[in-house]
Amino acid sequence: MSVNSQKLYEGKAKVLYTTDNPEILLADFKDDATAFNAQKKGRIIDKGRMNCSISSKLFQTLEARGIKTHFIDNPTPNQMRVRAVKILPLEVVVRNIAAGSLCRQTGLELGTLLAKPLVEFYYKNDNLGDPLLTRDRLHLLQLATPEQVDTITHLALQINELLKGFFQQCGITLVDFKLEFGVDSQQQILLADEISPDTCRLWDTSEADPNRRVMDKDRFRQDLGNVEDAYEEVLQRVLQAIEKQNAS
Ligand code: UDP
């Protein structure tokens, strides 16, 4: 880290630092784990390295398929240099299979295959508990322009198709995930934040048992045990899939 580097922001999972270049920030991934709007706190040993590596590989995979992301490179295994963006205060959730809050709020049974992917917008605001937004509320609060919402929806669906296909090669079912987008100095929308077992629901495709199949933060949320092993297994499968792609 350069001597001029300053802590810009500390979130639940990452610390952001400035660099010598105002267009570039450094994200340092932490081992801290939180759930239920930080009511449950803990640590997942080596999570910083695992999530940074998984996110970096997924961002690179998406970049190679035409999705613009904030990823630049990794100075160390748990650090990511990223393009500086203004993060839109939206959590964009894409769902392929019913789980989590969708089941709690609609009564849909866990594991129900959705006829088409569902894109949802939540207000990124911890004080309000990240509430689900309607499009009208989103516009009322001016959280993004209508054009930005259309672009993000389109990107989210594209990213879903790419990630679903990639995870399929890993023997992993992509149930749902959360994305964040930012706007750079040229007003371009970039995929930002992270894509990791903290922000995705990932099920081992070959495992039918509803507890054993879980390879993501639900292991921590629901005290299922073996959290670190699950994250490491996701990382190893991601690395193997990329190796296979490069070899072919
Ligand atoms: N998610 C996230 N951060 C949040 C809320 C949700 O990364 O603050 C992810 C979560 O890991 C899951 C997806 O978004 O992959 C959908 O989460 P859901 O709305 O079902 O909420 P939960 O059941 O986790 O409360």
pTM: 0.97
Identify which of 178, 180, 193, 222 to mutate to test ligand 1's pocket (most ligand atoms within 8 A of the CB): 178
pLDDT confidence bin for 58, thresholds 50/70/90:
very high
* Distance between Cα 35 and ligand 1 center (Å): 9
> Does the beta carbon of 93 sit less than 6 angstroms from any atom of ligand 1?
yes
Closest ligand 1 atom to the C-alpha of 176? Answer: 15
Q: Residue 81's beta-bridge partner residues?
A: 26, 73
The listed CATH number (2.60.40.1730, 3.30.470.20, 3.30.450.30, 3.50.50.60) that belongs to domain 86-224 = 3.30.470.20
**What CA–CA distance (Å, rounded) separates 87 from 101?**
24
The H or E element spanning position 69 is none
Structural tokens at position 217? 């933060």
**Among the listed residues 233, 60, 33, the one whose alpha carbon sits nearest the alpha carbon of residue 163:** 60
pLDDT mean over 243-248: 93
Q: Does residue 200 contact residue 189 with C-beta atoms inside 8 Å?
A: no
**What CA–CA distance (Å, rounded) separates 139 from 90?**
12
Portions of the chain given CATH number 3.30.470.20:
86-224
**What CA–CA distance (Å, rounded) separates 155 from 190?**
10
Identify which of 40, 102, 176 to mutate to test ligand 1's pocket (most ligand atoms within 8 A of the CB): 176
> Does the beta carbon of 219 sit less than 6 angstroms from any atom of ligand 1?
no
Identify which of 199, 215, 231 to mutate to test ligand 1's pocket (most ligand atoms within 8 A of the CB): 199
| Homologous superfamily in CATH for domain 7-83 | Phosphorylase Kinase; domain 1 (3.30.200.20)
**Among the listed residues 97, 101, 131, the one whose alpha carbon sits nearest the alpha carbon of residue 115:** 97
CA-only gyration radius of the chain, Å = 17
> Does the beta carbon of 205 sit less than 6 angstroms from any atom of ligand 1?
no
pLDDT confidence bin for 248, thresholds 50/70/90:
confident
**Among the listed residues 94, 91, 165, 162, the one whose alpha carbon sits nearest the alpha carbon of residue 130:** 91
Closest ligand 1 atom to the C-alpha of 175? Answer: 15
Over the stretch 95-138, which tens digit does the pLDDT of each residue have?
A: 999 999 999 999 999 999 999 999 999 999 999 999 999 999 99
Portions of the chain given CATH number 3.30.200.20:
7-83
Q: Does residue 152 contact residue 144 with C-beta atoms inside 8 Å?
A: yes
* Distance between Cα 19 and ligand 1 center (Å): 31
pLDDT for 2: 67
SS3 content of the chain, % helix, strand, coil (to 5): 35, 30, 35
Q: Does residue 181 contact residue 91 with C-beta atoms inside 8 Å?
A: no
